[in-house]
A and B are shown apart, each in its own frame.
Chain A
């Protein structure tokens, strides 16, 4: 469709005219301007809603909201075209079969072997070995081989040695969807562990001997402690209501030596509505400070984030400080339980704060334990009531921790944002389906590529420059502040206003420090080369008089090798001033000046979505299309001063 206008959300004056294309996988908007030809790419799987608004004199407006929080406003001149686009998009954004998803057609030009290697990057058996199991207390159980006991659990699970198959199967019959207690994290320093399950089918009075034995076995696997925490992450009221349906929570009288604890995290429906409310606030056009703060509070979002953090901190403290094992569950044990177990693991174990470890953590607590990615993130058309930002909340908790502990994480904010993006993008197979069983049936590993491999290959872009493996913050358990801590949780504009580049700090400390570190590394290399040359030259000069005949040859050689080096390292320019380092110049979204353009290129290439997809055409194109520095950036927009225009008409 031609002559479509892409509106800028911040200023109505700046609309881009261009052509809209729909492909099998993307919506593409190409601007008419011949030199720039800026393109905006949106994956169909990212589309969360499409809204056709009332036709105006200038055309028919179409509002596309994306799951990665991008909002696109188009105006299509002809009502009929708009309707066609609308109908097609509705169909394209809601595929009914897995085979329609992008990952089945996405081909990053890797051969079979590379693809297989990619899937091997994260290996959970290796991870359990790293934790120190199997050992005297814990063993692998094959009771769920062929998914015979629980179809949403993985085949390989770790359970206490004393838990026989009989106990496990018996316990599974007493738990929602047969999700019996299994090991999530083991702390080898003090034998304390985190186990997870679903709620017991206790109703008002039912008991199950095997389930009681199972909990006993978990407690005994930690000989240093004489009790076990059972953490129900639901609000007490919800858990009590479940009893009427024959579900519920553990009765302290029936289980010996447990301490039972509620932690009120709300359910997926409350969270979905909360996010919805917060996004409405983010979408407001030039809101006042009060609108924003009031809306943020009203959404309750940060309150929910705090509840998840509190739960994670509680468990981490129980394990690290008290040395007590914890069993965590919610209702089905695949949403809140996943959030809380992974937050606790992250606080406890510095390994999960590395890039590789974080991938392992998501693979372990989310992917393998049957978090319902397909339902929660609406990859296939399904029940909208199943959709909820569960992993988004976990990712935000990580960011909140990063804000408090700037040196503790090996990765940076961008890493989190890109993982969130790909949870929804369906470009890689990792997050497809609802369980391991479904993924195996679909042969995901043979037919798609792994995100972890993709991120790992681009890891230079995701490094936190402040991370040092020997820094005190990277050692042992993190100790987040407990009280008073409300102000520690902040709105994450980098995520929820991700595409409103104008709102973000114009100079990135992370990028700046990364560039400095890169330069430092090059300097180190050059220092070595120069040092060698110096030694050689000194030797030469010593020998000079004696072996005059050979001298010429050798100096030639030296000259040659040094020029090679200069090609490899480009050391000639950056020593005196840093101008040869584009990324060094902390430019800003302001004027068309050289520093600025360089930075944009820099950002572009550092965005893996873009760099990896420049030829595969699958990117998000967020940076170039929305960046405020893109060409005609006026201060009026930068300063978000739409409100001024009323009193400040064009001169």
Chain B
């Protein structure tokens, strides 16, 4: 992550910043370089900063307990009784990457779930991701079924996902791989749901890239952004060649499709790719942002990240290890979560008044996913976090973010609750490079920041006036009634 030469240390950070330190003295320079090198590539998780970090703020709320599955289920059971909380994974014994409790259809018992788990990649059996209150349709997620080349089937699996359908209704399975890739997966024991065995479901393939393709895309994009040449053509072709915006478009399109199936077609949806830990989560979480106004609030979004990313077992430690400047090819590294945040930013840009949080909030999450003093994004799933005793030994990011002082930095002054479904445009003309992340260190943001401040002060002044007018009005009303009373006397 750094290149040292003749008294110069260049530190390339995970948040894409590049710092150059000129240090007099060859030897000192080398020492510093090797120390930084050693300290930034620690092998053991338990030696990392979150385990030593002592917060300087007053903890009002323990973030580790802010978003518990029970609360989520309580909300759900107030609108429907077709689902139940299953503790089948209590000791992480059925599925190592799932949380201890999951929400499944009421009619399916734990025994059946165990069988379904055997039939799904990594035992990630279909669980509830989202319930659409408006029409009672649901979104589930899972991993690929293990049909293999000989077309294995699992009656319990069929029964489980059929349990989410209303009589006579059909559902959609969104496979985040192309048909080709899905077919190839059969050779390795994976596969997809065959029409014959799932007659009530229509399968749609959407191609979302994964792993090293995404990582290379990120590396190319960051390279293009750091290019100092004055050539307009090179900039555009490099931006194009990185394919970053193509990935954004693909992911958003798949999410819009899922949302469309639920809201417009009135159908339930099952989303999966191969493992169900990456593109699947991008689709399910973005679809919820489109559909559910709650996910566009700060707390709701935090809850979404906890549910759909942390508890759902997105392997943060593997995916967000080195960021864009890594020299060594990390096999598991991929900016899946960053792509998700970028997609959220695209929607935010198109609906600037519908989100309670601002761009800074998303940037903050990006930074903490890659490097943080908090334990929230450590580990690859709940199981690992449990073993590391993170809730006991580290601070939760949410404990810090949800202090009122921090919250005020992340609030969008333009926010006005919007209870509608928001349909973003995915046309190329509507998608833009997320400058706040990718050009953050290369362009002066002073004038844009000033504009933001101006915006805040306009709205603040308006609110102050409103309060004043209201107070005066109340005072006047009181005086007038007093008056009238006196008159009556």
Q: Give the interface of A toward B (CB within 8 A).
A: 282, 286-294, 296-297, 300, 302-303, 306, 404-408, 465-466, 468, 471-473, 481, 483-491, 493, 497, 500, 502-507, 509, 512-513, 516-517, 519-520, 523-524, 526-527, 530-531, 533-534, 537-538, 540-541, 544, 555, 571, 575-576, 584-591, 593, 634-636, 638-641, 643-644, 647-648, 651
Contact = CB atoms under 8 A, between A and B. Distances in A.
A497 B233 CA distance: 22
A642 B267 CA distance: 20
B439 interface: yes
Given A487-B433, A635-B423, A516 B458 contact: yes
Contacts of B230: 483-486
B428 A586 contact: no
B269 to A, nearest CB: 12
A500 B429 contact: yes
Interface stretch (B256-264, B326-334, B377-385): B256-264
Interface string B415-456: 010101111111111111101000100111001101100110
B486 interface: yes
A303 B246 CA distance: 23
Given A481-B444, A504-B430, 8 more contacts: A289-B249, A406-B454, A472-B450, A486-B232, A489-B232, A519-B462, A585-B416, A587-B418
Contacts of A636: 260, 264
A297 B459 CA distance: 39
A635 B205 contact: no
Interface of B: 170, 204-206, 225, 227-237, 239-240, 243, 245-246, 248-249, 253, 256-257, 259-260, 263-265, 267, 349-354, 414, 416, 418, 420-433, 435, 439, 442-444, 447-448, 450-451, 454-455, 458-459, 461-462, 465-466, 468-470, 472-473, 475-476, 479-480, 482-483, 486
B423 A593 contact: no
B235 A641 contact: no
A634 B421 CA distance: 12
A10 to B, nearest CB: 8
B246 A288 contact: yes
Contact of B450 (A282, A407, A489, A640): A407
Contacts of B486: 544
A587 B351 CA distance: 9
B265 A651 contact: yes
A297 B428 CA distance: 14
Contact of A506 (B422, B439, B450, B461): B422
A516 B265 contact: no
B462 A297 contact: no
Given A292-B429, A407-B450, A640-B427, A530 B469 contact: yes
A627 to B, nearest CB: 13
B465 A524 contact: yes
Most buried by B among A472, A585, A639: A639
A320 to B, nearest CB: 17
A294 B240 contact: yes
A640 B473 CA distance: 49
27 contacts: A287-B428, A290-B246, A292-B428, A297-B233, A303-B232, A468-B454, A473-B447, A483-B230, A486-B234, A487-B442, A505-B351, A507-B354, A519-B462, A523-B462, A523-B465, A526-B469, A587-B418, A588-B354, A590-B421, A593-B420, A635-B260, A635-B421, A636-B264, A644-B257, A647-B204, A651-B170, A651-B265
Given A486-B232, A527-B472, A534-B476, A407 B426 contact: no
Nearest to A558: B480
A490 B353 contact: no
A471 B450 contact: yes
B473 A520 contact: no
Contacts, number: 242
A585 B439 CA distance: 32
Nearest to A490: B432
B256 A407 contact: no
Contacts of A516: 458-459, 462
A576 B477 CA distance: 15
Contacts of A466: 451, 454-455, 458
A466 B235 CA distance: 30
Contact of B429 (A282, A300, A303, A638): A282
Nearest to B415: A586
B458 A644 contact: no
A523 to B, nearest CB: 4
**Closest A-B pairs by Cβ, 9 of them:** A586-B353, A292-B428, A406-B451, A297-B236, A486-B235, A293-B240, A638-B423, A523-B465, A303-B232
Nearest to A286: B427
Contacts of B264: 634-636
A474 B263 CA distance: 47
A588 B422 contact: yes
Contact of A293 (B428, B470, B479): B428
Contacts of A544: 486
A370 B284 CA distance: 59
Contact of B466 (A481, A493, A575): A575
B65 to A, nearest CB: 34
A484 B426 contact: no
A644 B253 contact: yes
Given A297-B237, A489-B232, A493-B430, A530 B472 contact: yes
Nearest to A520: B462
A178 B224 CA distance: 47
A484 B265 CA distance: 48
B464 to A, nearest CB: 9
Nearest to A405: B447
A404 B447 contact: yes
A503 B458 contact: no
Most buried by A among B227, B235, B249, B267: B235
Most buried by B among A297, A487, A520, A571: A487
Nearest to B349: A505
Contacts of B470: 575-576
A598 to B, nearest CB: 13
A648 B204 contact: yes
Contacts of A555: 483
B458 A465 contact: yes
A602 B358 CA distance: 26
A503 B425 contact: yes
A169 B107 CA distance: 98
Contact of A473 (B229, B231, B450): B450
Given A486-B232, A524-B465, A534-B472, A503 B353 contact: no
B222 to A, nearest CB: 13
